Amino acid sequence: MLLGLLPMLVVGACQGPSRANIELRKRNAELTEQIDLLQRQRTGDQATIKTLEAQRDTVSYLPDQRLEKLFTVHGIALSRLCGGSDTDSDHGGDEALRVVFTPQDQFQQNLKAAGSVQIELFDLSLQGDQRIGRWEFSTTDAMNRWIDSGLISAYAFELPWQQAPAHTQLTLKISFVDELTGRTFSAQTPVNIRLPDAPAAENQPPNQP
């Protein structure tokens, strides 16, 4: 009997895998290819998302119509406190520049807004390069310069001279980049200072009649 089954087994082996097995392997190959394609697409999508996040600020892409409905920065107002600062009472004159300003909204109301700051100081009476000072502050650094008291709420800076002034009237320029919208606002004003060599006011003789 065993000898009778042997030819049947040999014939079955020669016929190879069944049609069902062939279809199963084909389906598995198709599924594997689809999974590989989906994985590649997912990897590509993740790379695109990271690139877009790095290149754009989501808030800055709000339409202007929506921004106009928010209280956002539309300008900056310079305080009359801007000017020279006498930081050394033992010597006459000013040793630093005082800068005080406040962001304002579309209704010219003061607005506490975060942003980076660039301050420039010019002496327009000089020949050639007239800029005698330039200071930059990141948004984080500028936050530490915000003061809020009963008298004033504003950004306030006291900046030692980078180049000693040669004249008493200088020009101050401030640029503020709003962190929310990415827009830049600038303003400038003339400021008066006392030269470092000038005697302190309390030590000056009274005016003669």
pLDDT tens digits, one per residue of 169-197: 999 999 999 999 899 999 999 999 999 66
pTM of model > 0.75: no
Residue 202: which pLDDT band, with cuts at 50, 70 and 90? very low
- Identify which of 196, 188, 204, 117 has the alpha carbon closest to the alpha carbon of residue 157: 117
Q: pLDDT exceeding 90 applies to what percent of the chain?
A: 51
Task: Give residues with Cβ within 8 angstroms of 85, minimum separation 6.
Answer: 94, 95, 96, 97, 98, 158
